[in-house]
């Protein structure tokens, strides 16, 4: 137990530092990180307290899948931790908190107690209870609730928009995470809730004017400095990237490709077109069916409430995964696969349209227009491709070629 945990340290000798680490390269570190440091400057002792500790093993993966992931607070060397983040080329930014001696004693003692085995574990929640919200709460207690009072103001954006801007470093993963989360993260939030992010808490601490015992106000950040600043890493964008038009273009391109391949196959009797159409169905079925199936299961049996009642199940679900085996069968020339794919995609397209129509009702307010723009054109295009295939299959070859030419000309004239 350090001297501030046993009551040996005097408040005048203590310093409490908020440390902010910039985002890293792997998914868990995209959000950045934060810690608190306690220094006893008379004894020349210090400890860094990190609420982001977890065990990466099979049990952890199972707990995460069920929404029961446990984190704990650990303590480590300040210099060693700073050098670790410097080696990863991640910023290390420090703010010394302007607290009274009594407040420093309270924070230091609580940190020393939190790291004890009987106190250290907590149930992790990415937005509500994480390695930074724990720091926020402790700073708020130390300031007598002044941080929370100041943070009653509306936040700049929703949790989804914050998520989109922090995950913009990887477009496919950003869209996948967007797909998995429901309207819990679309409601208006306060600045207090925005402080689940290290950068946001750092900004709020820098802006907060706290009232002292004498009634005078001063900045909560008494001093600020950079231990290390990366020369190549950029800060997360201030707003989510405007990917909507590009996502829509991709959805239209994939849906249009299916229609084009169906026309090519029937018009020319092309084996290559059939192979490509089957391959597209298999790939799309896998790419959309796996997350759709995972979302369906997580919404039913896990504690990940952010996946429950997710409107994206109108767009992709376990039914979508059937396009994988049927697409493979189509590459081998199976006629039954054509009929089955037509039924699958027609049902998925109908569900997707239903999901859009239901948005006129207040409960269906999920911000999933990016996913609609991507997936619904694919489902409509696939359903249209196999519907057109069925029509062309009934025509004599000469009429089929003529119909194919008319379709091609019509598509060129359509704006």
Q: Where are the domains of the chain?
A: 3-228, 243-393
Encode pLDDT of 21-64 as tens digits: 999 999 989 999 999 999 999 999 999 999 998 876 666 666 77
Render 337-400 in DSSP notation, one character per residue: HHHHHHHHHHHHHHHHHHHHHGGGSTT-----HHHHHHHHHHHHHHHHHHHHHHHHHHS-HHHH
Q: What is the DSSP string of 220-256?
A: SEEEEEEEE--SSPPPPPSS----HHHHHHHHHHHHH
Mean pLDDT of the region 189-212: 95
Residue 27 CB neighbour total at 10 angstroms:
12
Q: Is the pLDDT of residue 231 over 70?
A: yes
Residue 100 or residue 393, greater confidence: 100
Q: Confidence class of residue 403 from pLDDT cuts 50, 70 and 90?
A: very low
Please check the confidence at residue 383 and state whether its pLDDT lies above 70. yes
CB 95, CB 18: distance < 8 Å: yes
Share of the chain above pLDDT 70, in %: 92
pLDDT average, residue stretch 75-86: 97
pLDDT attached to residue 396: 63
Q: What is the pLDDT of residue 397?
A: 53
- Taking phi over 0 as left and psi of -120 to 50 as alpha, with beta for the rest, 44 belongs to left
Q: What are phi and psi of 75, to 5 degrees?
A: -120, 150
Residues linked to residue 34 through DSSP beta bridges, in sequence order: 20
Tell me the per-residue pLDDT of 278-287, one tens digit each, with 9 for 90 and over: 999 999 999 9
pLDDT at 207 over 90: yes
This prediction has a pTM of 0.88
Tokens of 31: 């959000």
Residue whose pair of structure tokens reads 């049927």 in the numeric block: 326
At residue 61, the pLDDT reads: 64
Asked whether residue 182 carries a pLDDT value surpassing 50, the answer given is yes
Half-sphere exposure of 142 (CA within 13 A, CB side): 29
Query: Residue 320: what pLDDT?
Result: 98
pLDDT computed for residue 58 by the predictor: 67
Mean pLDDT to the nearest integer, 247-264: 97
């Amino acid at each position: 137990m350090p001297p501030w945990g046993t009551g040996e340290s005097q408040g005048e000798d203590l310093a409490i530092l908020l440390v902010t680490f910039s985002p890293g390269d792997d998914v868990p570190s995209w959000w950045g990180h934060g810690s608190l440091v306690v220094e006893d400057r008379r004894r020349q002792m210090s400890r860094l307290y990190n609420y982001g500790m977890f065990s990466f093993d099979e049990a952890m993966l199972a707990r995460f899948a069920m929404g029961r992931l446990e984190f704990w607070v650990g303590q480590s060397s300040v210099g060693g931790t700073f050098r670790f983040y410097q080696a990863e080329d991640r910023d290390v930014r420090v703010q010394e908190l302007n607290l009274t001696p009594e407040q420093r004693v309270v924070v230091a003692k609580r940190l020393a107690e939190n790291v004890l085995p009987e106190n250290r574990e907590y149930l992790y929640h990415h937005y509500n209870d994480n390695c930074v919200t724990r720091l926020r709460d402790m700073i708020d207690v130390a300031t007598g609730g002044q941080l929370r009072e100041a943070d009653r103001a509306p936040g700049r954006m929703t949790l989804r928009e914050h998520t989109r801007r922090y995950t913009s470093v990887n477009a496919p993963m950003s869209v996948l995470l967007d797909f998995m989360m429901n309207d819990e993260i679309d409601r208006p939030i306060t600045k207090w809730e925005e402080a689940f992010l290290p950068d946001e808490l750092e900004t709020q601490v820098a802006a907060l004017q706290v009232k002292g015992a004498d009634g005078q106000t001063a900045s909560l950040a008494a001093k600020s400095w950079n231990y290390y600043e990366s020369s190549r890493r950029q800060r997360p964008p201030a707003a989510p990237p405007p990917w909507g038009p590009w996502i829509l273009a991709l959805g239209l391109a994939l849906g249009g490709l299916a229609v084009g391949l169906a026309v090519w196959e029937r018009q020319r009797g092309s084996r290559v077109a059939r192979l490509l159409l089957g391959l597209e169905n298999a790939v799309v079925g896998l790419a959309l069916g796996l997350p759709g199936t995972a979302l369906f299961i997580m919404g039913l049996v896990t504690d990940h409430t952010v996946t429950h009642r997710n409107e994206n199940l109108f767009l992709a679900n376990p039914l979508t995964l059937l396009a994988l085996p049927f697409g493979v069968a189509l590459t081998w020339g199976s006629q039954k696969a054509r009929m089955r794919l037509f039924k699958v995609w027609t049902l998925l397209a109908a569900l997707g349209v239903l999901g859009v129509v239901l948005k006129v009702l207040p409960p269906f307010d999920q911000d999933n227009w990016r996913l609609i723009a991507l997936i619904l054109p694919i489902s409509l295009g696939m359903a249209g491709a196999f519907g057109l295939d069925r029509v062309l299959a009934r025509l004599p070859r000469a009429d089929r070629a003529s119909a194919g030419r008319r379709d091609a000309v019509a598509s060129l004239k359509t704006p």
